Amino acid sequence: MDRLSSAGTLKEIIHKYQFRFNKNLGQNFLIDTNVLDKIINHSEIGENTGVIEIGPGVGSLTQALAEKAGKVVAIELDTYLIPILTETLAGYENVVIIHDDALKVDMQRVISREFQGMDVKVVANLPYYITTPIIMDLLEKRLHISSITVMIQKEVAQRMQAKPGEKDYGALSIAVQYFTKPQIIATVSPNCFMPQPKVDSAVIRLDVLDKPIVQVEDEKKFFHVVKAAFGQRRKTLVNALSNAGLFRMSKQEIKDVLKELDIQENRRGETLSIMEFAALSAAID
């Protein structure tokens, strides 16, 4: 069958089904085959790969994934796209379509039911309005996924990959880098989509680490420290932590903790490495 990602084929499908794009569902369909090939090549899928795709749209990425992977499970929320997908993917026996909200699907169940013995990866052109909750949900549940290769808003990809001291470094950088090694693969301009989004996009690959990059005894406290440090960006670390209302220690006690850890109290949260956040969260109360 013709590649669904060509603008002409997509227009034909839209016309045939009288499909209307739903802005609220982040529907910006990829119409650039070079970008699609980049996603496929960088996601490194093979016969033993089970792929979870979130938001298949009319199935252009799904089709390319199905040609390489052992099996693809594509989760689509929009009811109007289900009959289209049923037709466009009819020739692919290794594709399972789930009509549901990806945020509500029990991914653990999908993995154990559909991908026994396979290397599981997530590959998607994500609906941007749920980028962070989807990715954090996949990571926090510690599912057996080896990598996540996704198209997301460029600015969010830059935040995920940012290092201490860089302007984009923040709580999201730490959350993502705690669980994965991120790498931006490509930046993608709005004219690669139909309809065009208002923002630039990027393809990012997150390689999931076997275990988090630092050992943290109390993860909840670790992320509280991160949240407090970045919650008041213009404040020094000692002020941000003591004003957060998340810890029992007095300002003086927090100062003492920082001194013990050799972290200057007038540093700002955005300069701290994940290791320093881990040490701080072990010592603060």
Task: Summarize as ranges the residues that interact with ligand SAM (CB under 6 A).
Answer: 25-30, 54-57, 60-61, 75-78, 81, 101-103, 125, 127, 130
Return the number of the residue (52 or 162) whose C-beta is nearest ligand SAM: 52
15-34 burial, b for 16+ CB within 10 Å, e for fewer? eeeebeeeeebbbbbbbbbe
- The dihedral built from the CA positions of residue 138, 139, 145 and 151, taken in this order, carries a sign that is positive
CB of 177 to ligand SAM, least distance (A): 25
**Of the two residues 26 and 182, which places its CB atom closer to ligand SAM in the complex?**
26
Give the residue at shortest CB distance from ligand SAM. 55
Partners of 71 in the beta sheet? 50
Residue 119 pairs in a beta bridge with 49
The 3-class SS string of 110-150 reads HHHHHCCCCEEEEEEECCHHHHHHHHHHHHHCCCCCCEEEE
Q: Which is nearer to ligand SAM, 197 or 212 (CB)?
A: 197
Report the residue number, 5 or 242, with the smaller CB distance to ligand SAM.
5
Give min distance, CB of 195 to ligand SAM, in A.
10
Of the candidates 132, 181, 179, the residue with the CA atom closest to the CA atom of residue 155: 132
